[in-house]
Structure 1
Amino acid sequence: MTSSSWSRAAFVAAVGDAVRAPSIHNSQPWRFRYRADAIDVLVDPSRALPACDPTGRAARVSCGAAAYNLMLALAAGGAPARYTTGIGATVVRLTPAAPRPPTPAEQRLHRQIGRRHTNRAAFADTPVEPAALAALTEAAHAEDGWLEVVTGDRLDAVAGLVRAADRELTADAAYLAELRAWTSEADHRVEGVDRQAAGAAQHPGELLARRDFGGAAQDTTHDLARAPVVAVVGVAGDGPADETRAGMMLQRVLLTAADLGLATAMYSQPIEVPAVRARLRDLLGRPDLPQLVLRFGYAPTTCYTGRRPVADVVDVGDG
């Protein structure tokens, strides 16, 4: 493999890792185009979520996360990439860099791609070590982003914003119809959230409101964590290219958490309601709009959501 191109086989194999990135409702809003001298990552407009993602922000974040996986896979094979964001319809364009062995960090994170998943189970009452939180913060900084852990009164305030946003979203009939369209009672679906991955239904006593994917009702929250670790992540700027960079940063944080043995839950509701998102930014005292609320801790592995076959998301040609 030379520095001028990747083989088609290497491209297809790397896309197999790229599609393990997270996306809202597991909508998988990406396509990957193989060109003679580059790989393009594009938003797939057929996977749009007009009710919960009318601007396409979340789709671009997801494509950035997929691009990060793609770069890790290529680097793990000794053929790293450079990237450029925001080239017309192309969200990320990868071009070959000089071949080199993967770094230990690239190898560790690459191994976590298949293990990382959104955890909708109850978290244990086990503290997260300060060194782990420092590593997560550093992971965000390494991709020009930020991660801020919230505690005490600010944690209660963030939880209140998550609940407020969830209430506003679920009062919208179009949002609920879209959510149900991506929720399945069947198991082992290749898209959307099936009942095995849905987790239990949201309980009123939970601190952070989870999205309702039709899980079974529960009498108690079963969430024993007395001091949950909640963080907000973001990047400087809020343009389309910044949203893509936010996805790359997010994926590095998520893979780092998996490497540390941490479970992660994601809450995008306060980002989907513009007024609540602005309140969250003001609460943090930052100039940048936040991109996601995350929870870290320890929880049993839950069922993974499915992914579409690689053949469904690639365009392979010389043009």
Structure 2
Amino acid sequence: MHNTQPWRFQYSRRGRVFRLRADLRGALPHTDPELRALHIGCGAALMNLRVAVAHEGWEAATRLLPDPVDPMLLASVTLTRPLGDEADPAALYPAVRTRHTSRFPFAETEIPASVRSALVDAAHREHVALSFVSGWHLQYVVDLALEAEARNLTDAGAAADLARFTRAADDTRPATEGVPEYAFGPRRRIGKAPVRDFAGGRSIPGRPTADFETFPHLVLLSTARDRPVDWLRTGQAVERVLLRATLAGLSASFVTQALEWHDLRWPLRDPTSAMAHVQMVLRLGYGPRGRQTPRRPVHDVLDIEP
């Protein structure tokens, strides 16, 4: 959330193992008190590492939460042997640098069945269910997201978390994290696409307005249980889905507002399905790619040991 980048990697040359740790500098104490979103974000970073390792020609063994007494050690990735002919997930590598969140309007063009199936399969590979929202359920999910967005605008804690990780054009803080003003996207004039207003309701000179989708393409990612390991699996599934979507020419944004409120998260699920715990809502569509946002320098997220 909010481009907090809550991860730190350690690499041991001797053991050829990466360790992923939670970086609590990226925690959102009010919005994410259980660190669910932090785990999902770290899971996404873990997926990118797995893709890069495969791209460099290595098989790897990934363990989630490998040390029961150290819950902030989220995963280990051990390089085991040169990769064979298996292309997965190396084939996703070209999308790692080009995938950016887009907060622009998307065309209301149907997503082909073959692309939908590929996205469902991408999530399934990480033991997460993905479903496209339609009919009455689509309107219900949109309404919940808009209700949560309205709450966030008047909630002091949510506003404080947002303020820590949004950047005005004249901000003097180091430009290595958060969502800068140029990436906020336009304000919605009409439409029902649930896009977060990173301006927090403030008026920003020169920020344009735009018409968004009336019937946005939303997908839910869900797990059977709701534990830290499920959150990490969700993060890997989210990133795998986003990379696959990018290769298929789709843009995407996150719709996490309702997930940040306990009383709104549970109703997101479709009661007529076998869906259990909704972990993420994504908005997909054909439209402009998002602007690149800052990243912490490598020395701030990677330690290399002998």
TM-score by length of 2: 0.89
Of 284, 289, 298, the residue aligned with 2:277 is: 289
What is the aligned partner in structure 1 of residue 226 from structure 2? 238
Structure 2: segments with no counterpart, 5+ residues = none
Of 4, 7, 10, the residue aligned with 1:33 is: 10
Q: State the aligned residue count.
A: 292
* 1:94-118 CA-partner distances (Å, limit 9, x unpaired): 1122212463343320111001111
3-state SS, counterpart of residue 82 of structure 2 = coil
2:191–2:214 Cα contact (<8 Å) kept: no
Of 189, 197, 215, the residue aligned with 2:175 is: 189
Structure 1: segments with no counterpart, 5+ residues = 1-23
Between 1:143-152 and 1:283-292, the stretch displaced more is 283-292
What is the aligned partner in structure 2 of residue 78 from structure 1? 57
1:284 to 1:44, Cα distance in 2 relative to 1, 3 A? farther
What is the aligned partner in structure 2 of residue 177 from structure 1? 160
Query: Which amino acid counterpart does residue 186 of structure 2 have in structure 1?
Result: A
What is the aligned partner in structure 2 of residue 206 from structure 1? 191
What is the aligned partner in structure 1 of residue 112 from structure 2? 129
What is the aligned partner in structure 2 of residue 161 from structure 1? 144
Deviation, structure 1 residue 190: 2.1
Q: Which has the higher strand share?
A: 2
2:188–2:211 Cα contact (<8 Å) kept: no
| CA RMSD across the alignment | 1.9
3-state SS, counterpart of residue 80 of structure 1 = strand
1:44 to 1:58, Cα distance in 2 relative to 1, 3 A? same
3-state SS, counterpart of residue 291 of structure 1 = strand
Q: Does 1:305 align with 2:293?
A: yes
1:228 to 1:212, Cα distance in 2 relative to 1, 3 A? closer
Between 1:281-290 and 1:44-53, the stretch displaced more is 281-290
Q: Distance in 2 between matches of 1:165 and 1:63?
A: 24
Q: After the TM superposition, which residues 110-129 of structure 1 pair with which residues of structure 2 at under 5 Å, given as runs? A: 110-129=93-112
What is the aligned partner in structure 1 of residue 33 from structure 2? 54
Deviation, structure 1 residue 166: 1.6
Q: Does 1:104 align with 2:87?
A: yes
Q: Distance in 2 between matches of 1:211 and 1:228?
A: 14
1:61–1:248 Cα contact (<8 Å) kept: yes
- After the TM superposition, which segments of 4 or more aligned residues of structure 1 sit over 3 Å from their partners? 101-105, 215-219, 282-287
* 1:108-139 CA-partner distances (Å, limit 9, x unpaired): 20111001111101112322111111111111
What is the aligned partner in structure 1 of residue 74 from structure 2? 91
* 1:162-213 CA-partner distances (Å, limit 9, x unpaired): 111222222211211221221112389321011111101244x331332222
Q: Does 1:278 align with 2:263?
A: no
Query: Which amino acid counterpart does residue 315 of structure 1 have in structure 2?
Result: D
Q: Distance in 2 between matches of 1:218 and 1:39?
A: 43
1:299 to 1:279, Cα distance in 2 relative to 1, 3 A? same
TM-score by length of 1: 0.86
Query: Which amino acid counterpart does residue 198 of structure 2 have in structure 1?
Result: F
1:25–1:179 Cα contact (<8 Å) kept: yes
Query: Which amino acid counterpart does residue 184 of structure 1 have in structure 2?
Result: R
What is the aligned partner in structure 1 of residue 130 from structure 2? 147
Q: Does 1:264 align with 2:261?
A: no
Q: Distance in 1 between matches of 2:21 and 2:28?
A: 16
1:165 to 1:284, Cα distance in 2 relative to 1, 3 A? farther
* 1:250-305 CA-partner distances (Å, limit 9, x unpaired): 11111010011101111111111111111112546445210111111111123111
1:228 to 1:102, Cα distance in 2 relative to 1, 3 A? farther
